[in-house]
Amino acid sequence: MKILVLNPGSSTQKSCLYQLQDELPTTPPKPMWEGKIDWSGDDSGGKLEIETDRTNKEIELESRDELEAIAQMLDTLTQGDTKVINTLTEIDVVGHRVVHGGADYSQATRITPEVKEAIAQLIPLAPEHNPAHLKGIEAIEAKLGDIPQVAVFDTAFHSQMPLKAKVYPLPYKFYERGIRRYGFHGTSHRYCGHRAAQILNKPLEELKIITCHLGNGCSLAAIANGVSIDTTMGFTPLEGLMMGTRSGSIDPAILIYLMQKEDYDRDRLNTLLNKESGLKGVSGISNDLRQIFKAIDENNERAELAVDVYIHYLRKGIAAMAASLQGLDVLVFTAGVGEHQVLIREKACHGFEYMGLKLNKAKNKEEIMEEDMAACDSKVRILTIPTNEDWAIASECWQLFQQKRS
């Protein structure tokens, strides 16, 4: 079975092609083809990068039109030195990462017109992501016709959270209208929880795990018995930790104050909270921790403050997730910051010795993936696991179609 995966971000479109046999591998195999479109540059077009076993290729895109760019990316599957299949009809199913699935979708779901409409209806709650998902679905329809497509929702993993974690302390009628905590990054949190159990060779159901997805967007999940019971993001991906450009949780009265005293309207508030806050807002430099650490080396006090605030909220979040779990067996770091920023991991773990969590600083500096970085006398295991949302999506597609065959 050949499974194509589309995993869009706010300024990128990642894709890969897996070829799977009759049994699902226990560890992620290497895709036979990988493609990435990057629109983050300042030029009028974008950049397309293709990787196969035989070649790496970079292509400049003249247009920023998403449908055209995805179609051009798909053409590299069957053409030139990046060719890995003879025709696109060899693809059996296409899986899409979809950030917001609302309350109605708790598992991987075959995409129908009704599902597309639901994704569109949720655009106000995930304006940076859900539109890109629809573009990807439409591009596949245009290129591959009625091929089976599957939506794997980031919110699905958190759908089993208990009501006490879902309900906001507002009048209950708002919960009934869908204003509730959904949680995000679920595909990543789920994968890392399962992978942690594999690495430690312990049953997932016996572990209390906190997964720290730290990228430009940041969230934590508390996993017990293989289920998410709490998380930091909520109704939208804005709640929770301080992030690259997002504020995370703040006193909601600040927004009322800005509306009354500074004449902020809805659009200005949205831009402030999602684009101008977080590390970028506090530091005044960047949302990129590499640039912020460089500024710290040059004695920039606001850069240092930005990291201090970031760590403050991260450690508060870890403590809150541990409280929800009533204990902790494994702490996992993942995503761009979690996987590569040694100092962030060290600072995040500092001060938790009272609950038996002790980091081996030497191992942490070696940046060894998928090996225990905890000190010998630590009661809590500490792992860095590269997130693999693409493989998690492919796995769910495979399982969905195997169930239909049986």
Kindly give the residue spans of alpha helices, DSSP state H, lying in 145-185. 163-166, 172-176
For residue 3, what are the CA distances in angstroms to 16, 102, 147, 283? 8, 25, 11, 42
Q: Is residue 141 within a helix (H) or strand (E), and if so which, with residue range?
A: helix 130-144
Asked about 154 being catalytic, the answer comes back as yes
**At 230, is the secondary structure helix, strand, or coil?**
strand
- DSSP letters, 243-274, are -SS---S--THHHHHHHHHS---HHHHHHHHH
> Which two tokens mark 69?
């760019």
In the sheet where 208-214 sits, what is the strand order? 227-231, 218-224, 208-214, 330-334, 381-384
> Which two tokens mark 91?
């693809």
Kindly give the residue spans of alpha helices, DSSP state H, lying in 226-359. 253-261, 266-275, 278-283, 289-297, 301-325, 335-340, 342-349
Burial 223-250 (b: 16+ CB within 10 A, else e): bbebbbbbbbbbbbbbbbbbbbbbbbbe
Largest separation between any pair of C-alpha atoms in the chain = 63
Give dist(CA 385, CA 212) in Å, integer. Answer: 10
Backbone conformation region of residue 102, classed left if phi is above 0, alpha if psi is from -120 to 50, else beta: left
Contacts of 232 (CB under 8 A, 6+ apart): 218, 219, 220, 221, 239, 240, 241, 248, 317, 320, 321
Catalytic residue among 38, 154, 251, 267: 154
Active site amino acids: 154
